[in-house]
Amino acid sequence: MPALTTVGAVVLSMGDRPTELAKALDTLLAQEGVDLDVVLVGNGWEPRGLPDGVRTVHLPENVGIPEGRNVGAREVRGEILFFYDDDAFLPTTDVLARLAAEYALDDRVAVVQPRGCDPDGRPTPRRWVPRLRAEQGGAGGEVVVFWEGVCTIRRAAFESVGGWPGHFWYGHEGIDLAFRLVDAGWRLLYRPDVVVNHPATQPTRHAVYYRMNARNRVWVAKRNLPHPVAEVYVGVWSAITVARVRDREKLGVWFHGLREGVRTDAGPRRPMSWRTAWRLTRAGRPPVV
């Protein structure tokens, strides 16, 4: 009998959603067909009262979403990493096995994203669908972006490009990681036939949304895009934001974040090749939008 694929599940929690977390863990531990290791990272919270089979890491202070995931990835065992929001749940016991099967078919596959669906039937947020046409969840196949809330990533690919940009704290860490993976020659796949449930929440519920949205867009450009594409990218998104956000106070916060992004260190700069920029453009995701 062939050995099962080892999957390391990283769950990040602040301990403020106990009911949702319990369901997330119960449906995770019920997964079949994989060799599963689970680590829950308490981000500014000391985990307690968790089911058997869940190892924990206590971070005394909240280090943000991407760095919390990095911590979990270092602690968990598995050739495939499963990043899993604490308010999601898995509706069937074969979700991880079906996603993990894709990695055995092509050793160039770095990411396999399932389809996210609200359990109460609310419309799927556009940002969850890595396709331009999002009807019925969008078409499956190769993509160049992915939803970071619930996704699997090959550990070798994840580590080869440095993991999540931990200093981003919140927002656009998935875009940054996708750019680096695509530029390194890895493939990203979308499996809309594999469904996970997650409440259709809006990112604007986070108090830091407008600041981080602006700052991290600038950082994505500074880290990943060649000149003059980086400048065009920031300019286009500034215009889009001005058109969309009519609240002056929120817009002021956004522009404060924009200035912060311009003036502060974004981390190592490794601009993608023009070949990668063309690959993104051919996929309908030109790196200026």
Burial of residue 48 (number of CB atoms within 10 Å: 0-12, 13-18, 19+)? exposed
Are the C-beta atoms of 34 and 51 separated by less than 8 Å?
no
The amino acid present at 218, given as its one-letter code, is V
**pTM for this structure?**
0.95
At residue 178's C-alpha, the angle toward residues 85 and 262, to 5°, is 100
Question: What is the C-alpha separation between 221 and 277, in angstroms, rounded?
Answer: 12
Question: What is the C-alpha separation between 37 and 51, in angstroms, rounded?
Answer: 13
CB atoms within 10 A of CB 193: 10
Q: Return the residue matching tokens 């000391």.
A: 46
- Side-chain half-sphere exposure of 156, counting CA atoms within 13 A: 10
Helical packing angle, 209-224 and 173-183, nearest 10°:
20
Q: Pick from 35, 99, 271, 66: which is nearest to 173 by CA?
A: 66
Q: What's the pLDDT score for residue 1?
A: 46
Residues present in the chain in total? 289
Q: Can you give the pLDDT of all 289 residues of the chain as single tens digits?
A: 467 899 999 999 999 999 999 999 999 999 999 999 999 999 999 999 999 999 999 999 999 999 999 999 999 999 999 999 999 999 999 999 999 999 999 999 999 999 999 999 999 999 999 998 888 899 999 999 999 999 999 999 999 999 999 999 999 999 999 999 999 999 999 999 999 999 998 776 666 899 999 999 999 999 999 999 999 999 999 999 999 998 999 999 999 999 999 999 999 999 999 999 999 999 999 999 8
3-state helix, strand, coil in the chain (%, to 5): 40, 20, 40
**Residue 123 Rama label (left phi>0; alpha psi -120 to 50; beta):** beta
User: What three-state secondary structure class fits 11?
Assistant: strand
Q: What's the pLDDT score for residue 23?
A: 98
